Chain A
Amino acid sequence: MGIIPYIVVSCVLFVCGIIVMIARKNIIGILLGIELVLNAAALNFVTFTKFNNLNLDGHIFALFIILVAAAEAAVGLAIVIRFFQVRESVHIDSATQLQS
């Protein structure tokens, strides 16, 4: 099996993540989209490591990405909870406090 199916899967994942990030108005949904994008990136690392280099850099990087994604999800969800407490909504357009 060649490299193309891997990249196609990761592209699909990436594009799905982007579309979710842009199209969804729910903050949790957007966080999910970000997870998808991160996962697409992690999949790319693993794929290119597997096919091009014989060292483990990409794998380790994928592990880091999973770690960062977990931390990011934790922080993001915390913000969302806090945001919900203030605005009683998780709609992205109601986050207007930073606007002048």
Chain B
Amino acid sequence: MEYSLLTILPIVLLPFFAFVLNAFIVKKFTKTAVALSCVAIFIPFLMALRIFADFVFNKYSADYYIHKTFTWFDLSAGTQIFKVQMGIYLDNMSAVMLLMVTGVAFLIHLFSTYYMHDDARYGRFFVYLSLFTSAMLGLVLSDNLFSVFIFWELMGFCSYSLIGFYYEKEGAGNASIKAFMTTRVGDVFFLLGIVALWSTVGSVSYVEIYKAIAESSLSSPVFLFGFGIPLATFAGFCIFMGTIGKSAQFPLQVWLPDAMFGPTPCSALIHAATMVAAGVYLSLRMYPLMDAGGLLEFIAYIGGITALGAATIALVQTDIKAVLAYSTISQLGYMVLGIGVGAYNASLMHLITHAVFKACLFLSAGSVIHALHDHHTHAPVQEMPRMGGLRKKLPYTFLAMLFCTLAISGVPLFSAFVSKDRILGDALLMATHSSTYIIPAILGLCGAFLTPFYMFRMMFLTFFGEPRDVELNKHAHHEHFSFNRNLPLLILSVFTLGFWYSGSLTGQGELKVFPESKYEWFQVLVEKPDLNKFLGRTSTPLAVPESKEFIEHSHYDPNHGITSEEEAHHVHLVHRVGAIASVVIALSAIFLAYCMYISKKFSPAWWTSNFARWTKALQNRYYFDHLYIDILIKRLLHPLNNLLAWIDMGLYDRYAVDGWERVLAFSYSVARWFDNIIIDSVLVDGSGISVRFFNIVLRTIQNGKIQFYFLVLLFVLASYVLAFKPVI
């Protein structure tokens, strides 16, 4: 297949044009604008499907890529080269991401036509969605960190706008600012990392960075406060900080739960499926840099802490969207843990599977919220204690949500069992090799126990049992099948099945459903970039269609590149133990949730009363908001702000600025005096006066009286005679 401008660029540009056009027409022609937005994401979906089919069925090597560049601007002068290039980087990973983003985004657009239909700002929502989709697709297609950063910030802006979409609601504005500012902390580091790479590599494109790592030219130290650390460590850490901010990892996770103020479809698209996953995507792209910088253990710890911490907070949430928000943080923690333990492929797989089932979960939650309407406050209800027994009212939503909950729980045959189990299996494997990985592996397994528990708690509280708020339940409309409400949910829930992603149940070659390894398409498709292959490759200009020169088939290796039989046996053993452990863990957690919330054998109240302090800590989200707002901002940043304000206003303004003003006023008065007296009075007026004086003198002398001239002559002669006395 030919890859040229026409087959790649519209993926980004169509949603962008839809955004630009809709921004103008949305008030008058709302329906046209909405339709335009949906079409502008459906066509990229078809194009992405074409690219995906090409990459998967033609089985290019995992290192095959298409890299097209154009010069954005060129400020080179003489030997100083300063050239910024933009471009498109398309490899197997981008192909998968493109398909996921366009597909999920299209379904969410479709669902939004149902969910947002009665909203006063129905059209504006789609304007933001189009811009966001365009930015996300641009990020996936970017070939360098700089354009990634641009799209990254654009998505941050869309996230900000959509969180504050219901700006009448108290808290929505604050939440949007909180989200924007918290991610900004990570973004500053990210930019610093880009600058650090630029200063050494001279380019920020992936290929150049991979080349530089392969040539190990990034090991030169940078000096921070007198400590020399390798540049790869510094840049890798900074870029990973960007991931921490965007993907809501510990310790910057505080913004994502508040982001639930936005409309539910936007939570599904931005805060579950795509934008927060973009952070993980960036870390995957920069995996060689993190590896070279020796940051993987740090990343594994961050991921493990996030996975378990967010899962524990999710246990006590009563808002259905808050549960899903913490679940998202927790699952993102698994992806980061996967990067940390070197499970490159599994991490991306979890990103994709998570995007599908979490988008579906959020859309189902949106469907539930939309169905429940409080007739006293005229507000949709999100509180799970007021739900219950909705299974019969919302059969399709229940079905979709059940599938997704089974998927996220890691029940066999479903997608997260494949992806999460591979991450946990690799974590266990790393733990057997190095003792530093034991703690992240344990954190991950504990989180894997909590995930099914809180998800089934949510399911049981929402759909099972007797209605707890009878009046609310009575008013809830019975769900009829409609294409824009239920179809996206059902399509997404179909893709939560595991066989779409792997031929074996665990994804590790264990428990094969299909005996041939060719069904392991995902593992064939994506693997860690082989850096040495990037040496000596060059990009092609944007306008030139790609020619197929090096199509190398790659094959799934069930032994993961391990040649020694003993080692392979060990790997298999660990993976098998991991798979069995996660099945046992998932089922026992589901059983525990069943006992607590359906059969009521254990009372949740017993736990909350006996572990009251823990419950309080969990309800207060481990006091992170308190830590940041009351301690970090109020105690530290406000006094610092006041100090700086005092330095600025009290010292600098008062003494430097005002002092300088006084110096200027003094020199002004000196200058004025000089001007008035010397220039005006003496020089200007003086020259006039002198002219007038000589006028008088000369006029007096030249009076035209001949006899006066005689006298003057006489005096002159007499003075000559007297002056030159003859020497006698």
Contacts and interface: CB of A to CB of B under 8 A. Distances in A.
A88 interface: no
A92 B704 contact: no
A21 B705 contact: no
A38 B705 CA distance: 22
B710 interface: yes
A99 B711 CA distance: 18
A18 B707 CA distance: 10
Contact of B710 (A21, A95, A99): A21
B714 A92 contact: no
B706 A95 contact: yes
Contacts of B714: 18
Interface string B687-710: 000000000000000001111001
Nearest to A25: B707
Tier of interface size on chain A: 10 to 19
Interface in A1-47: 18, 21-23, 30
A12 to B, nearest CB: 16
A22 B710 contact: yes
Nearest to B708: A22
B706 A96 contact: no
A98 B704 contact: yes
Contact of B704 (A18, A30, A96): A96
A6 B710 CA distance: 25
Contacts of A99: 704
Contacts of B704: 96, 98-99
A23 B706 CA distance: 11
Contacts of A96: 704
A82 B591 CA distance: 150
Contacts of A23: 707
A86 B706 CA distance: 18
A96 B704 CA distance: 7
Contacts of B707: 21-23, 30, 92
Nearest to A99: B704
Contacts of A98: 704
Interface in A54-71: none
Contacts of B705: 93
A92 to B, nearest CB: 6
A22 B706 CA distance: 9
A18 B714 CA distance: 9
Interface residues of B, number: 7
Contacts of A93: 705
Interface string B705-728: 111001100100000000000000
A99 to B, nearest CB: 4
Nearest to B705: A93
A22 B710 CA distance: 7
Interface in B120-155: none
Interface in A65-100: 92-93, 95-96, 98-99
A99 B714 CA distance: 22
Nearest to A23: B707
Nearest to A92: B706
A21 B712 CA distance: 13
Contacts of B711: 22
A97 B704 CA distance: 9
A44 B699 CA distance: 37
Nearest to B703: A99
B295 to A, nearest CB: 100
A22 B705 CA distance: 10
Contacts of A18: 710, 714
A43 B705 CA distance: 30
A98 B706 CA distance: 11
Contacts of B710: 18, 21-22
B351 to A, nearest CB: 105
A99 B704 CA distance: 6
Contacts of A22: 707, 710-711
A30 B707 CA distance: 9
Interface string B306-328: 00000000000000000000000
A93 B705 CA distance: 7
B596 to A, nearest CB: 125
A42 to B, nearest CB: 18
B426 to A, nearest CB: 115
A98 B707 CA distance: 15
A93 B707 CA distance: 9
A15 to B, nearest CB: 11
A92 B705 CA distance: 8
Nearest to A24: B707
A23 B708 CA distance: 10
Nearest to A27: B706
Nearest to A97: B704
A21 B714 CA distance: 11
Q: In the complex, which of the residues A18, A22, A23, A95 has the most CB atoms of chain B within 10 Å of its own CB atom?
A: A22
Interface in B657-714: 704-707, 710-711, 714
A52 to B, nearest CB: 12
A18 B718 CA distance: 13
Nearest to A22: B707
A95 B714 CA distance: 21
A22 B711 CA distance: 7
Contacts of A92: 706-707
Nearest to B711: A22
Interface in B633-661: none
A97 B706 CA distance: 12
A4 B440 CA distance: 142
Interface in B68-104: none
A34 to B, nearest CB: 10
A18 B710 CA distance: 9
A99 B705 CA distance: 9
A47 to B, nearest CB: 16
B358 to A, nearest CB: 107
Nearest to B704: A99
Interface string B156-177: 0000000000000000000000
Nearest to A18: B714
A90 to B, nearest CB: 13
Nearest to A33: B710
Q: In the complex, which of the residues B704, B711, B714 has the most CB atoms of chain A within 10 Å of its own CB atom?
A: B704
A96 B707 CA distance: 13
B401 to A, nearest CB: 116
A14 to B, nearest CB: 10
A99 B699 CA distance: 11
A98 B711 CA distance: 19
15 contacts: A18-B710, A18-B714, A21-B710, A22-B707, A22-B710, A22-B711, A23-B707, A30-B706, A30-B707, A92-B706, A92-B707, A93-B705, A95-B706, A98-B704, A99-B704
Given A21-B710, A92-B706, 15 more contacts: A18-B710, A18-B714, A21-B707, A22-B707, A22-B710, A22-B711, A23-B707, A30-B706, A30-B707, A92-B707, A93-B705, A95-B706, A96-B704, A98-B704, A99-B704
Q: Which 5 A-B pairs have the closest CB atoms?
A: A99-B704, A22-B707, A21-B710, A22-B710, A92-B706
